[in-house]
């Protein structure tokens, strides 16, 4: 049999350049990575082949258990820059140094309920976890894009997650809360009602990781170098502004691109459009905590920004995608217990339980106590202790002494090893703790409806309609009438109009009685405008994407003007055409397409424009992807730019007669400028009155 001459190259073999020779995990050069060693070309495979066995061995073990919650995540590197130092409040290294001080960070965004393979646009809470690599150790703010949580005590966390996940007998539904188990649990847990308002709002279907807020959820403590303490809540405010999608869009995006959020973040960073968030803090003292209507240790409550303004003290910029998804995003280990001197815990019972749970789970996922040896988890400051050995230890303390105290190496030599330092080390703030040992929920945690109502009345009328629609949809997927009725009974304690619309949407024959509250709600809490997405929109098109649908004969003048206007506004353009080759413009130039029309529905874009020649406009007026592109954009209240030549498409899409101020003739004088000005509003919400009719 003729042997393959590797020196000349051949099938599946390329002569390596320089030293790029493939090796085994032990470093031995590999001669053939395509064929298992056999006894003859058609003979049995031999167990002797150590190269093949190593390759299969590693493949068989390359998966680690996915996270029970927050399994689907996406990680990004960045930097935090301090803009307003606060040494008077905390000695925490990233927050108390000189103005302009920079600290590297790693951020992981995630969904909560779905598995690793679930779609990005599930209606769900989004994880927003930030790891600061400080000179005094790693500090993790393990938060969400919603500032409250479902439960008040960590004891209930397994029940919450079991109820939200797929039913154990049937293994579905995946990444959804629209099922009996979840709403059965929620309807029996009044403490969850504030969170219900948030997850039924547009906050639970964000347009992008880049356009959502982050919150530390819990109340922590700041401690300064004098030992003085203040309470603090952490906020991440996106400089790109807030934005979400409609539920109908979310469903279609999941079908068109289930990796939509991941792709969006990757593409933005690769394009140099680095997303930024300001770190804000709400700082308050014991006196405020005593006077506040709610317990600051209750994770189901917020402190309205109108009562305690958010002070912005630094900016986080995410500017580097990971080199390897598994090594970084999958193996990163966040722990709420990871704090640095100057940050301390409070007695929040949910936080206390998380401090135990997050550390405990790393043993299962990452195999042992040495997960801090993994580069993405490793502190970027000197690490000195006497801990040693264990599964996958990458390094051990040097010297004879592996215990403390010891008397080796009198003085401060390496042999003697490190010593605790009361002046520099972490010291828990002194808090007087006294009480009877008991299993009991504090009476100060008993109001479950007041802030739920405050959140609802803080939304715009459009956002309120979306909330009613969302809860109606979710409960329509619940098979048991008693669960639906219980939920309506809870909502009656929040807002009667909301409850009435919900009951009507569910077709209930009569209104259920309100659920008896543990404590009477406060009915006159004022609205908090900071809680509305629409009231806090960006007012600009920067970082957004235009879907520009072109076909042959498109007016080159309009196309070039549109491309220039979007670039000036700081936005992005994706070219869509009937064929991936692109479209010929009126001046004879070819514009290459990024997407083919049947693979680029309008749900993937913030606004759309359709520019074609007369012949193309008539040819595609019966093309289903073209009609869907236009009709969905209209139904989703998006701004639509068009030229008169595409009116046949708009007529066949049954939207021409409903044309409104959100539809702009790009060929008219000043049309492109008008279109871009209106696109800064992101949506033409007035259109919903038509599309809902």
Instruction: Just list the catalytic residues.
Output: 70, 144
Distance of alpha carbon 53 from alpha carbon 61, whole angstroms: 12
Angstrom distance (rounded) from CA 507 to CA 203: 27
Rounded to an integer, what distance in angstroms lies between the CA atom of residue 207 and that of residue 538?
13
What one-character-per-residue DSSP string does 387-445 give? ----TT------SS--SSS--SSTTT-TTT-----TTTS-----------------GGG
242: nearest Cα among 149, 145, 325? 145
As a whole number of angstroms, the distance between CA 107 and CA 270 comes to 16
- How many other CB atoms are found less than 10 A from the CB of residue 184? 17
Q: How far is it, in rounded angstroms, from Cα 101 to Cα 477? A: 51
Q: How many CB atoms lie within 10 A of CB 429?
A: 14
Q: Distance of CA 645 to CAs 552, 595, 611, 666, Å?
A: 11, 22, 8, 11
Judge whether 543 and 571 are in contact, CB under 8 Å. yes
Alpha-carbon distance 82 to 351, whole Å? 26
* Alpha helical stretches, state H, 165-259: 180-187, 193-199, 247-256
3-state secondary structure of 111: strand
Contact, 305 vs 282, CB < 8 A? yes
Instruction: Report whether the peptide linkage leading into residue 204 is cis, meaning its omega lies within 30 degrees of zero.
Output: no
Q: Residues 414, 397: contact at Cβ < 8 Å? A: no
* 50 DSSP 8-state letter: H
Helix intervals (H) in 232-285: 247-256, 260-270
Q: Rounded to an integer, what distance in angstroms lies between the CA atom of residue 94 and that of residue 379?
A: 14
Q: What is the CA radius of gyration of the chain?
A: 29
Name the residue among 549, 556, 504 with its Cα closest to residue 646.
Answer: 549
Q: What six digits make up the tokens of 559?
A: 């196309």
CB 500 within 8 A of CB 514: no
CB within 8 Å of 488: residues ≥ 6 apart: 499, 502, 503, 506, 508, 511, 512
According to DSSP, the residues that pair with 641 across neighbouring strands are 609, 664
- The DSSP symbol for 10 reads B
CA 152 from centroid of its chain's CA atoms = 22
CA 639 to chain centre: 26
Q: Percent helix, strand, coil in the chain (nearest 5)?
A: 35, 15, 50
Q: How many of the other CB atoms lie within 10 Å of CB of 380?
A: 14
The pair of structure tokens assigned to 499 is: 């409850």
CA distance 191 to 567: 47
Give the angle 122-127-129 at the CA atoms, nearest 5°. 155
φ, ψ at 406 (rounded to 5°): -145, 165
């Amino acid at each position: 049999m003729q042997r393959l001459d590797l020196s000349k190259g051949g099938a599946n073999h390329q002569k390596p350049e320089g030293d790029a020779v493939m090796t085994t995990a032990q470093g031995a050069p590999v001669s053939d990575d395509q064929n298992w060693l056999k006894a003859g070309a058609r003979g049995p495979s031999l167990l002797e082949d150590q190269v093949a066995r190593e390759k299969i061995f590693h493949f068989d073990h390359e998966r680690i258990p996915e996270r029970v919650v927050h399994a689907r995540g996406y990680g990004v590197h960045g930097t935090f820059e301090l803009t307003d130092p606060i040494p008077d409040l905390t000695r925490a290294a990233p927050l108390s140094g000189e103005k302009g001080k920079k600290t590297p960070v790693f951020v992981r965004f995630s969904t909560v309920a779905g598995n690793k393979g679930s779609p990005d646009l599930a209606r769900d809470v989004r994880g927003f976890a930030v790891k600061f690599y400080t000179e005094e150790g790693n500090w993790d703010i393990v938060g969400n894009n919603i500032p409250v949580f479902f439960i008040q005590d960590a004891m209930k966390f397994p029940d919450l997650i079991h109820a939200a996940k797929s039913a154990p007998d049937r293994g579905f539904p995946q990444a959804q809360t629209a099922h009996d188990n979840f709403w059965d649990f929620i309807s029996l847990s009044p403490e969850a009602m504030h969170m219900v308002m948030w997850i039924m709002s547009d906050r639970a279907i964000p347009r992008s990781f880049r356009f959502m807020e982050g919150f530390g959820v819990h109340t922590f403590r700041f401690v300064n170098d004098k030992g003085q303490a203040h309470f603090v809540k952490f906020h991440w405010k996106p400089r790109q502004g807030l934005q979400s999608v409609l539920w109908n869009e979310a469903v279609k995006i999941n079908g068109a691109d289930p990796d939509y959020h991941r792709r969006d973040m990757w593409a933005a960073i690769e394009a140099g459009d680095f997303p930024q968030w300001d770190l804000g803090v709400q700082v308050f003292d014991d006196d405020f905590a005593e006077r506040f209507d709610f317990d600051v240790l209750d994770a189901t409550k917020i402190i309205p920004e109108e009562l305690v303004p958010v002070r912005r003290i630094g900016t986080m910029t995410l500017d580097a995608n990971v080199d390897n998804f598994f090594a970084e995003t999958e193996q990163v280990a966040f722990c709420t217990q990871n704090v640095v001197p100057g940050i301390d815990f409070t007695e929040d019972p949910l936080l206390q339980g998380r401090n135990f749970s997050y550390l405990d789970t790393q043993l299962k996922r990452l195999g042992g106590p040495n997960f801090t040896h993994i580069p993405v988890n490793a502190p970027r400051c000197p690490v000195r202790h006497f801990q040693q050995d264990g599964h996958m230890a990458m390094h051990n303390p040097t010297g004879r002494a592996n215990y403390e105290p010891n008397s080796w190496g009198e003085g401060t030599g390496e042999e003697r090893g490190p010593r605790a330092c009361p002046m520099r080390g972490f010291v828990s703030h002194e808090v007087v703790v006294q009480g009877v040992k008991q299993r009991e929920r504090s009476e100060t945690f008993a109001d479950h409806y007041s802030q739920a109502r405050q959140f609802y009345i803080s939304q715009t009328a459009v956002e309120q309609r979306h909330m009613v629609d969302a809860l109606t949809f979710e409960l329509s997927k619940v098979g048991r009438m008693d669960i639906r009725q219980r939920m309506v009974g809870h909502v009656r304690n929040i807002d009667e109009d909301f409850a009435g619309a919900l009951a009507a949407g569910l077709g209930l024959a009569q209104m259920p009685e309100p659920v008896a509250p543990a404590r009477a709600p406060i009915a006159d809490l004022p609205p908090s405008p900071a809680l509305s997405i629409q009231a806090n929109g960006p007012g600009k098109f920067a970082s957004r994407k235009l879907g520009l649908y072109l076909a042959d004969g498109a007016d080159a003048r309009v196309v070039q003007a549109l491309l220039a206007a979007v670039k000036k506004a700081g936005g992005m353009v994706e070219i869509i055409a009937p064929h991936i080759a692109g479209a010929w413009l009126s001046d004879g130039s070819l514009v290459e397409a990024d997407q083919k029309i049947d693979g680029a529905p309008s749900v993937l874009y913030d606004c759309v424009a359709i520019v074609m020649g007369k012949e193309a406009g008539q040819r595609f007026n019966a093309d289903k992807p073209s009609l869907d592109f236009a009709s969905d954009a209209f139904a989703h209240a998006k701004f639509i730019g068009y030229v008169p030549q595409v009116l046949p498409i708009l007529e066949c899409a049954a939207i021409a007669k409903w044309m409104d101020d959100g539809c702009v003739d790009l060929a008219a004088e000043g049309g492109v400028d008008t279109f871009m000005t209106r696109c800064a509003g992101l949506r033409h919400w007035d259109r919903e009155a038509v599309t809902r009719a």
